[in-house]
Amino acid sequence: MKAIIISDLHNRVDWVESALSSSLLKPYDRVVFLGDYFDDFYENLEDIKKVAKWLKQSLSKPNRIHLFGTHEMWYRFPGNPYLQASGNTEKKSDAINHIITEKDWNKLRLCYYEQGFLLTHAGVHSYLINKNNLSTQETLSLIKSVTDEALQEAKNGKIHPWLDAGFARGGRQVVGGITWLDWHDEFEPVPHLNQIVGHTELRQPEEKITKNSENYCLDTKNKHIGILGNGIFTYIETRDILET
């Protein structure tokens, strides 16, 4: 089993299909995108439309998993003011939602479990799980239940702690939620739960490893692509792939 993991595109989509067709990555079983497809603060509406068209096409591919990032939540639920992130604008939202339909949006997830790792945009903090001595399966069941609840609350125009920012990112919560958790100042390994995240920009992928938890952050402005093969996480420099 082999999964390719791509973090935080922020409009940088031109290279993706070429990289995924490279012999350095193939064969693979699926591709997981960790969210934040939109907003780099310097784009125009034509850039936004191009990214939306790419995302729509990518969502149609059966071997791809697309997660929500911070920047997708308000575009998904534009009537909810609590979800608006920096860079989100009404003009962008109108352009995106002219291309991305409700059916398309419903294909995005807040979390995905693959080969012993929980993949999310920013990570899950034990403070939000708020229960002790859970097995891995019990923890995953709880996360699935709460994220379903959070999406319903978002749809209803409300804010949920799992979709809100923590103090470290200027928010109102003790720690950031699943789309907001800061790798440097908030992320802590959860016992018996391995995680792969993006969201916090780094120069190189970083790890936080304990005796019972492996955790990796992959957001390097797409300088690296993650590879999860048979339960082992590695990464490769994107330029090496594109130069092949």
Residue numbers of the domain that contains 147: 2-242
- The CATH number given to whatever domain includes residue 85 is 3.60.21.10
Does this model's pTM top 0.85? My answer is yes
**What letter would DSSP give residue 29?**
S
Q: In whole angstroms, what is the distance from residue 56 CA to residue 84 CA?
A: 21
Closest CA to 200 of 34, 88, 75: 34
Domain tally, the chain: 1
* pLDDT, tens digit (0-9, with 9 covering 90-100), for 110-158: 999 999 999 999 999 999 987 667 888 999 999 999 999 999 999 999 9
Report whether 163 contacts 150 (CB < 8 A): yes
Contact 177, 160 (CB under 8 A): yes
pLDDT tens digits, one per residue of 7-66: 999 999 999 999 999 999 999 999 999 999 999 988 899 999 999 999 999 999 999 999
Task: Convert the pLDDT of each residue in 75-91 to its tens digit.
Answer: 999 999 999 999 999 99
